[in-house]
Structure 1
Amino acid sequence: MATKPQIVLIPGAWHTPAAFSTIIAKLEEAGYTVHTRQLPSVGNPKPPTDLSEDIVAVQDLVTEAIGDGNDVVVVPHSWAGIVAGSGLVGYGKKQREENGEKGGIVKGAYMCAFIVPEGVSLMDAIQHQIPEWWTIEVCGPHSVANDPNIFYNDLSPSEQQKYFALIKSHAIATKYSKSTAASWKDIPTTYLLCEDDNAIPAFAQDLMTGGVKAMGGEIEVERIKSSHSPYLSQPDVVVGWIRRAAGEEI
């Protein structure tokens, strides 16, 4: 029996792996090994000034997942798509095999995530318009989110408050830092487009996935009626999508 791909989950801005606890349990129950971690930009009293620390953290996770030659599916959420796009050039299975190396990323599974060309920052992607639901420290290095309905609009008020209490500060400088690469040009991608997303509106997700196609990237788009946090409101749907990305027919 073939070994199942390893799964790498990358939390988005302000969030930690705690947000993924439900889908992690379901993936492990289905026989997958899951790797995740809190990125250096999140909850850090000495936050990074560019993307480099986050890129290294993601590269370390993927290297751990590949191990002695495993296939890997990388699942970035939201802002983490910029980190994954920047940091994973050369980690694709096809590219590694060409270098005589075993294993590698077989699929990038972007979950309502930023997927942008090289040289584009998050602030570029949102036309440098700081949303009302961001609070920026005056002359400080952090940003915080101030409205749980942006992330969790399809959860009950009590559930919104439960998960909003888990988020942390985020390094504002990383949102101005430009992507350094576009690994999705070489690694096949599936994209979970969330139609009721208040953080990254569906039209923006459409524009980004259309841009990938226009630049010759291999991408499939699956649409669901969900908020920005489908791993909380529709965990079974998200797990099924990840398992299909890993090659299962379900």
Structure 2
Amino acid sequence: MKLKAIAVAAIACAALLTADPGFAQSISDSACGSAKNVVLVHGLFADASRWMKVIPLLQAKGLHVTAVQNPTTSLDADVAAVKRVLSQQDGPTLLVAHSYGGMVISQAGDDPKVCGLVYVAARAPDANEDYVALTKKFPPAPASTGLQWSPDGYGSLSEQAFVNDFAGDLPKSEARAYFAVQQPVGRAITMAKTTLAAWRDKPTWYVVSTEDRTINADLERFMAKRMHAKTTEIEASHVVLISHPNEVADQILAAVAQQR
């Protein structure tokens, strides 16, 4: 009789899952209480090494951390890279992004394993929103004047823009080292639009860089407020994850704690 009851319950549960997708989603959401995975997504003019100061701080707390190597050739390619990493996670996952990476996690964050989103001085456009048009509602960020394009359609920041505007609160020698390994960006990214905004359905956190000269700090505040994110401000340049890794790690850990 017990076996029969279990079988009946299993059939009933399966029927509910099939009939009501919302019920399936609620099951997925409830599993976020045991999140131990963190996936980190970098922005433009960068690679996954930008997270190297944050990663050991998270690992020291027992978290399983993976930093995605985005190709930064197109939004679709970057979203695919994140989804490949998400498919390898065992259980609920907190998705964290810096800069342009915010667009990537907004698109990829609908994955059922993702139980929360953390934006670090990051883009957070709404679905189908023109991010470039959004930026024009705020004073221009100085770093954009240093964007240079190669004949084959790849962009990079000039050394002056990178060292003084993009990474302005790092020691000059360190900023120049990061400049030497910056990853070019495909022109397609400048025209990309997300087709969904996962932050509308997932818990969100936002770290504002108050001295940001790559994304206007007031634009960051606008996006954080619009998504009803739990927001923290840090006096830092755009590369707050490098110049203030402890504070950024603390915000990620706070987000993980609230998912448990």
TM bucket, shorter chain: 0.7 to 0.9
Partner of 2:150: 137
For residue 201 of structure 1, the aligned residue among 216, 228, 233 is 216
Instruction: Please tell me the residue identity of whatever aligns with 1:40.
Output: P
Partner of 2:43: 12
Superposed displacement of residue 156, structure 1: 1.2
- Cα RMSD (Å) of the superposition? 2.1
The secondary structure found in structure 1 opposite 2:144 is coil
1:61-113 residue CA offsets vs partner (Å, 9 max, x unmatched): 22222x2xx22111111001111112222x2xxxx4xxxxxxx2221010010
Partner Cα distance (2:188, 2:198) in 1:
22
Is 2:233 the counterpart of 1:240? no
Q: Which moved more, 1:2-11 or 1:105-114?
A: 2-11
Is 2:103 the counterpart of 1:82? yes
Q: Which runs of 5+ in 2 are unaligned?
A: 1-32
Instruction: Please tell me the residue identity of whatever aligns with 1:124.
Output: A
Partner Cα distance (2:180, 2:105) in 1:
26
In structure 2, the CA distance between the partners of 1:87 and 1:3, relative to structure 1 (3 Å rule), is closer
In structure 2, the CA distance between the partners of 1:82 and 1:27, relative to structure 1 (3 Å rule), is same
Identical residues among aligned pairs (%): 23
Partner of 1:36: 67
C-alpha contact 2:144 2:214 (8 A) present in aligned 1: no
Instruction: Please tell me the residue identity of whatever aligns with 1:8.
Output: V
Task: Identify the structure with the greater helix proportion.
Answer: 2
Partner of 2:188: 173
The structure 1 segments of at least 4 consecutive aligned residues displaced by more than 3 Å after TM superposition are 127-130
Partner Cα distance (1:52, 1:237) in 2:
31
Partner of 2:123: 114
Partner of 2:201: 186
Larger Rg: 2
Instruction: Please tell me the residue identity of whatever aligns with 2:171.
Output: S
1:124-183 residue CA offsets vs partner (Å, 9 max, x unmatched): 333397921211234x32110112222211111111112222211111111211111101
Partner of 1:58: 82
Partner Cα distance (1:80, 1:121) in 2:
16
Instruction: Please tell me the residue identity of whatever aligns with 1:220.
Output: K
C-alpha contact 2:204 2:227 (8 A) present in aligned 1: no
Superposed displacement of residue 121, structure 1: 4.0
For residue 126 of structure 1, the aligned residue among 127, 135, 146 is 135
